[in-house]
Amino acid sequence: MGNEEDVKKDPITNLVKYYVKFHQEDKEHPELDDQAREWFKKLEDGDEEAHHLWSWFRDESLKAFNAIYDKLGVKFDTYNGEAFYNDKMQAVIDDLKAKGLLKESQVPKWSICLSTT
């Protein structure tokens, strides 16, 4: 869908372009959703290539974002996104199950039940 040299030349413009192109093509080729889910699963499972690409895209994105944040005087202590929590989720799920706070459902697979009634 894209190429490395273009991303290196102009990361944000090209990453956005690929994102938009993917979602346009996805309308006529829904099997692209399956491919996207496969890559996301690879990332969650620690696949080296998927992690390398994700890290590269994230680093390039943060460079651009930080240029704007610097102009605004905004600083962050950490940049932990959802992927940071992948290896921590099972303990949380187990704890919620043990406390009876999870109930099985269709989508998503589990729901957290916080109601006391």
pLDDT digits 0-9 by tens, 6-33 = 988 999 999 999 999 999 998 999 899 9
Both structure tokens of 38: 């496969």
Q: Are residues 56 and 110 in the same domain?
A: no
The alpha carbons of the chain give a radius of gyration, in whole angstroms, of 19
Q: Are residues 20 and 62 in the same domain?
A: yes
Domain enclosing residue 101, as ranges: 85-117
Per-residue confidence (pLDDT) for residue 117, from 0 to 100: 58
**What's the number of domains the chain is made of?**
2
Q: Are residues 63 and 90 in the same domain?
A: no
Rounded to whole angstroms, what are the CA distances from 117 to 1, 33, 102, 113, 114? 50, 38, 14, 10, 9
Q: Are residues 20 and 53 in the same domain?
A: yes
pTM for this predicted structure: 0.65
User: Tokens 């680093």 map to which residue?
Assistant: 59
Q: Which residues pair with 104 in a beta bridge?
A: 110
Identity at 111, one-letter amino acid code: S
Each residue's pLDDT tens digit, 59-104? 999 999 999 999 999 999 988 887 788 788 889 889 988 988 887 7
